Amino acid sequence: MDELPIGRRVAYWRGRRKLSQQVFADRLGKSKSWVDKVERGVRRLDKFSVLYEIADVLTIDVQLLLGKDPERRTDALNCIDEVEVEEIRAALERYVSMSKYFHAPVVPPPLPEFRKAVSHAWLTYQYARYGVLTRALPKLLRDAQAADAYYTGDDGQLAASLLGQVYQIASSALRKLGEHELAWLAADRSMAVSVRADDHLLAGVATYRVGNALLALGRARSALEVNVNIANRLAPGGTNGADPDRLSVYGMLLLQGAMAAARLGDSATVKDLIRGAEEAANALGSDQNYYWTSFGPTNLELHRAAAAVELGEGRQAVETHEQRIDKRRFAALLPERRAHHLLDIARGFAQIGDVHSAGEMLVDGDRLAPSEIRCRPIAHEVMSDILRRTRGAPPAPIAELAEHMGVGI
């Protein structure tokens, strides 16, 4: 797009934002005629102050207007590119709740309609359709921020809850795709908003997302502390009930704490936290998706295997996969969970030197949820390791998947 005149680039991004010339002009404080002349190249844009105003309205980096449109990242295979990252970054860096003190808030979508959009985004994530999700996230973030700024009272609490959920969705997707700093920012925002929503369990799930982001950033000690501290506050018992929602959030906080402890090599703490989560899972009785956690007995075993991989105990992870996980219950889990687990087991097989089985796990995961395997940097690392250690030519399905992933043989 860098060969286009700047006016055409303005028109392009205005179209991406689904803004009419009149609405765009109103937000800039200009006339529709002025916008039309800019887009046709009749009027020059030679003031940086105006360019920055346009970029702010379009919620993009000003460099994109100047034709500095980065190439797509080859390692992400079009799962997410730098343009989409910048759009999400711009949406995350907006402070709509502050600007409402100076300007009338933008009228957001009706809350029932927007609630459905957020639920759809959660399912898009849990079905591992990351490319679809990242393209939808900028608008979803802007709509959620507008709702949070616009509604008051009970509607305001619901709007805050929905914004907190959108931040969590963004954090989870960005972490999967290797954008760890942005994942942390989105997760941190979700914690603050959850307080406004007056929902302790939503704040607990936000803490889980923060822990995930911290772990991805290599801050395992902080991830362990934040998850365990909030888990202790939400633990069933005393004035806290033992309803399914609370059991699910509490259990997932313990499991995330176990993953952080495993990264630290603290096997004793891993066992303690998994034992606590196991009690919650048994009390819940079956795998559920309260607060979008997918928590339950089967997901607990998936985390037991994943923690073993983090501890370097690949054989234990494989044994957990083969002996402790009920195949019928596993098949009932959502695609992201299943493919994520198969990626973990691929790592476990690689740790014990069985690169053929490791490759088969990646192929199986790709059949379930291609984006979970093709879009994640960790999966690329595993595939590279498999190819490097395979004697002779790899089996055709593994070679084909490697080609799709862009991993050289």
Of the spans 13-27, 43-57, 144-158, 336-350, which averages the highest pLDDT? 336-350
Q: Which residue has the higher pLDDT, 388 or 17?
A: 388
Q: What is the pLDDT, as a whole number, of residue 364?
A: 97
Rounded to a whole number of angstroms, the distance between the first and last alpha carbons of the chain is 32
Asked whether residue 74 carries a pLDDT value surpassing 50, the answer given is no
Strand partners, 220: none
**Whole-angstrom Cα distance, residue 247 to residue 284?**
7
Give the pLDDT mean for 227-231: 97
Average pLDDT score over residue span 228-245 = 93
* One-letter amino acid for residue 222 of the chain: S
Query: DSSP 3-state assignment of 45?
Result: coil
What is the predicted pLDDT for the residue at 409?
57
Q: Is 395 exposed, middle or buried (0-12, 13-18, 19+ CB in 10 A)?
A: middle
Domains and CATH numbers, the chain: 1-69 (1.10.260.40), 81-196 (no CATH), 219-329 (no CATH), 334-409 (no CATH)
Return the minimum-mean-pLDDT range out of 89-103, 115-129, 212-226: 89-103
pLDDT of residue 116: 95
SS3 329: helix
The residue with greater pLDDT, 219 or 90, is 219
pLDDT on residue 57:
80
More confident residue, 369 or 58: 369
Q: Which of 233, 224, 234, 231 is nearest to 259 (CA)?
A: 224
Instruction: Give yes or no for residue 275 having a pLDDT over 70.
Output: yes
Q: Identify which has the larger pLDDT, 42 or 59.
A: 42
pLDDT for 171 beyond 70: yes
Q: Using one digit for the tens of pLDDT, what is the confidence trace for 277-299?
A: 999 999 999 999 999 999 999 99
The verdict on pTM exceeding 0.95 is: no
Over pLDDT 90: what percentage of the chain? 69
Tell whether the model's pLDDT for residue 13 goes beyond 90. no
Q: For position 321, what pLDDT does the model report?
A: 98
- β-bridge partners, 240: 237
| C-alpha Rg value of the chain to the nearest Å | 23
Residue-level pLDDT at 101: 45
| Assigned token pair, 52 | 């920055």
**Choice between 320 and 30, residue whose per-residue pLDDT is larger:** 320
Report the pLDDT value the prediction gives residue 100, as an integer from 0 to 100: 52
Three-class HEC string of 223-285: HHHHHHHHHHHHCCECCECCCHHHHHHHHHHHHHHHHHHHHCCCHHHHHHHHHHHHHHHHHHC
Of residues 96 and 252, more confidence is placed in 252
Please state, rounded to an integer, the average pLDDT across all residues of the chain: 89
Interval 176-186: pLDDT, tens: 988 899 999 99
pLDDT at 237 over 90: no
The residues near 15 (Cβ < 8 Å, ≥ 6 apart) are none
pLDDT at residue number 47: 76
353 falls in which pLDDT band (50, 70, 90)?
Answer: very high
- pLDDT surpasses 50 at 15: yes
Mean pLDDT of 124-149: 91
